[in-house]
Amino acid sequence: MRSTVREITGTPRTAVVVGAGVVGLSTAWFLQERGVEVTVVDRTGVAAGASWGNAGWLSPALAVPLNEPTVLRYGLRTILDPGAPLHVPVSWDPPLWRFLARFAAHCRWGAWDRAMWANLPLNAECLEAFDVLTANAVQAPMVEAPITAVFETAQQSAGLLRELRRVDEAGQRVDYTGLTGTEVREQLPQVSDRIRAGVRLHGQRFVDPGEFVASLARSVTARGGIIRGGFDATGTRRQRHEVTVRSTSGEAVTADVVVLATGAWLSRLGSELGVRVPIRAGRGYSFTVPTDEPVAGPIYLPGVRVACTPYRDGLRVAGTMEFRGPDDPLDPARIRAIIASASPLLRGVRWEERTDQWVGPRPVTPDGCPLIGAVPTAPGVYLASGHGMWGLTHGPITGRLLAEQITTGKQPELLRAFNPLR
């Protein structure tokens, strides 16, 4: 009956989503909104990858492509420094070095502008997609609060201000206010006397990312969806009007369509589909520390690439971009490097009492654009990955747009730039 319905109407009635992070679960939820029965499978479980320990920022103002020319210049200066925020371990890994070469080739303002234009619609609609979820039984509160970027000198703020002007010129309205060091310290007691300037970004939000994704999973199951952990997908196979996902254990799940939302692990499945855009794990680290005083809102330390967020009566501290394997173990030296760079800029933070040390693999593409949409070489298979540092911000809007494409057969205009086979 399942394949007959699709053959007659052209509309899928069942879907398997591979990946139980924010992107996969958002896609599952919006597919359910359109009447599709969903099964979500994951190699580990809900929010087991990059979705749990990130900074939790819902920040369209800062959701810009990674391939900025200044990132390349910074990376070339620090590539051999194990304590630098951007770290590439020296190793014999030809695919990684090919990826980095492609990334470097895209670190031009022209390429950045194209990626920025492509991502603008996601930024414009991302908060609305969160509002849809939280208005419909996803019980994880979002907090609206400005993000304050702080600097040791007014001159250091020039880079962020230049970036914000380019975002504004591209067509995305960004509301921000410059602050003196005194004004920053009056509003954020955690900021040390070394801070002399700040930029406050208005209209941003933050959320407990792990709780948000867990609540999203509960909503999917409450609406009849199935979520299965321990399913390590190895590939897909088309059979008439259905697609089967195979696992390492020999299990298989079949549906009308399959969505691959496996984040930094997508390359394991994408290569057999003809996907030429590589995805590598740009791993981020985080931990939680208690503070002497309550934290009023998110604090951004651009000079050391560290994000700080109020989290369960303390502060979640997140940072670094480390290009290693997605399953490589946590490197304690990276935690120590974050503390060494951030501690002179903050006070009243009890660094030695840290908990929840975590590393998660963010899926990075070389051109600053995710892979979202149908795979022409594999009918019935769709991709949703490669969001880099902005998977949480862009997860729900990705799910909503992809669910529209899957159920109508028409690619939303907003997804054209994210063709998986570009």
Please give the pLDDT value at position 1. 36
Q: How far is residue 185 CA from its own chain's centroid?
A: 30
* CA dist., res. 374 & res. 384, Å (int): 9
Average pLDDT on 223-230 reads 97
End-to-end CA distance of the chain: 35
What distance in Å separates the CA atoms of residue 387 and residue 369, rounded to the nearest whole number? 7
Question: The tokens of 149 are what?
Answer: 């970027």
pLDDT digits (tens, 9 = 90+) for 150-176: 999 999 999 899 989 989 988 899 999
Q: What is the mean pLDDT of residues 281-295?
A: 96
Give the per-residue pLDDT at 78. Answer: 62
Residue type (1 letter), 40: V
Please state which of the ranges 89-98, 136-145, 342-351 shows the lowest mean pLDDT.
89-98
How many Å separate Cα 170 from the centre of its chain?
22
Mean pLDDT of the chain, nearest integer? 92
| Per-residue pLDDT reduced to its tens digit, 183-221 | 999 999 999 999 999 999 999 999 999 999 999 999 999
Percent of the chain at pLDDT > 90 equals: 83
pTM: 0.94
pLDDT at 272: 84
The SS3 assignment for 248 reads coil
Closest CA to 417 of 48, 81, 122, 21: 122
In sequence order, what E strands does 248-377 have? Answer: 252-255, 257-260, 280-290, 299-301, 306-311, 314-323, 355-364, 371-374
75 vs 353, residue with greater confidence: 353
Q: Beta strand pairing status for 314-323 and 280-290? A: antiparallel
State how far the Cα of 375 lies from the Cα of 383, in Å rounded to an integer: 7
Query: What pLDDT score was predicted for residue 74?
Result: 66
pLDDT higher than threshold 90 for residue 271: no
Q: If you average pLDDT over residues 393-409, what whole number do you get?
A: 97
Residue with tokens 């359109």: 34
Which H or E run contains 237?
A: strand 233-239
User: Residue 233 is encoded by which pair of tokens?
Assistant: 């997908």
Is it the case that residue 80 has pLDDT exceeding 80? no
Task: Select the more confidently predicted residue: 125 or 71.
Answer: 125
pLDDT score of 338: 96
Token reading at 177:
């206010």
Q: What are phi and psi of 225, to 5 degrees?
A: -75, 160
10 Å CB burial of residue 136 (0-12, 13-18, 19+) is exposed
The tens digit of pLDDT for each residue in 11-21 reads 899 999 999 99
Taking only the tens place, the pLDDT of each residue in 367-379 is 999 999 999 999 9
